[in-house]
Amino acid sequence: MDNGTADGASNGDSAHTDDAPCVNGHAEDPAGPYAGGPWRNYFLILLDRIPTPIAVCRAYGEVLIANPAMAAQWGTVPGQLRGRNLLDLFEPRAKAQLDRLIDALRLGRRSRYPIEVRWRDATDGTEREGELTIDPVGDPSVNPPALLALLRVRESAPQPAPRAAASPVEARILTLAAGGATTASIGTALGLTVDGVNYHLTRLARRWRVQGRTALVARAYVLGVLSPDSWPPAPA
C-alpha cells in the first residue's frame, strides 16, 4: 500500500478490483473506462509516469489514487495519500472557488474548475502556491462523479539580485577604471578633474565598504553595476 505505484498496490495484483469503492451501487474504479482487463494496468502505469501531480478523488475529496508526482509534494509515496482528503492537503486561497465547485457538483454539472491553493512543502516547510484543476470524470450515469485533480505548481522565480545604487557618472568611472584607465585619463574622458574622479571613487568605496580600486571594481561586478559579459567593460 505504501510502495511507489499510483494505486499503492504491487504490480502483481494491481489489476484486482474486488475492493474498488462503490458509489450508488456502481463499482468505482479510478481507472474509469479502462478498469477492465489489462487496460487498468496500462492506465496506472501511465499515471505513474506523468510528471504532473495528479490525484483521482471521490466527489467530497477523498483520494482514491495519486501518482508519484503528487505524493512527492508531501515527501511520501502514493499509497500514503490514499484515503486522505484534498482539503486536508491543500488550502484554497478563495473559498468562493470551492463553493462554485460544490454547487456545480450538486447540480450535476461537469465542467473544469480551477482552484488556487497553497500548501507547505514537505522538504523545507516553505509555503508553496499553485492551481488545482478539478475535472469531474467517469460514467455520466454515476452521480456524484469522481474527480480528477491536476496540480500546477507555481514555481517561484528567483528574485533578481538587488542592483547597487550607482549614478550614471559613477558607472562610467567604474567602467573606465575596470578597463585600466588612470585617474587622469578618466577625468579627461568625462570632463572631470582628478580630484573630482577621486571624490566619486571615495564615495563609492565608503558606500560599498571596500578599500582600493581593484576591490571597488570587483564589487561593481558582483553588485551588477558592470556587465559581466562585456569587454571592454560596460555598464550593466
pLDDT of 75-123, one tens digit each? Answer: 888 888 999 998 888 999 888 888 888 888 777 777 888 999 998 877 6
pLDDT at 232 over 80: yes
Q: Please state, in angstroms and as integers, the Cα–Cα distance from residue 222 to each residue in 135, 161, 173, 180, 236, following that order.
A: 48, 9, 16, 18, 11
Which phi and psi (to 5°) does residue 23 adopt? -130, 120
Q: Is 26 helix (H, G, I), strand (E, B) or coil?
A: strand
Contact 117, 90 (CB under 8 A): yes
Pairwise pLDDT comparison (73 vs 139), residue with the higher score: 73
Contact 83, 63 (CB under 8 A): yes
Q: Which residue has the cell 571624490?
A: 199
pLDDT at 151 over 90: yes
Q: What's the mean pLDDT in 171-187?
A: 92
At residue 99, the pLDDT reads: 83
- Closest Cα partner for 67 from 53, 82, 88, 83? 53
Q: What is the pTM of this model?
A: 0.52
**pLDDT above 90 coverage of the chain, percent:** 21
pLDDT digits 0-9 by tens, 27-36: 455 555 545 5
- Closest Cα partner for 146 from 49, 38, 36, 54? 54
Confidence of residue 5 (pLDDT cuts 50, 70, 90): low
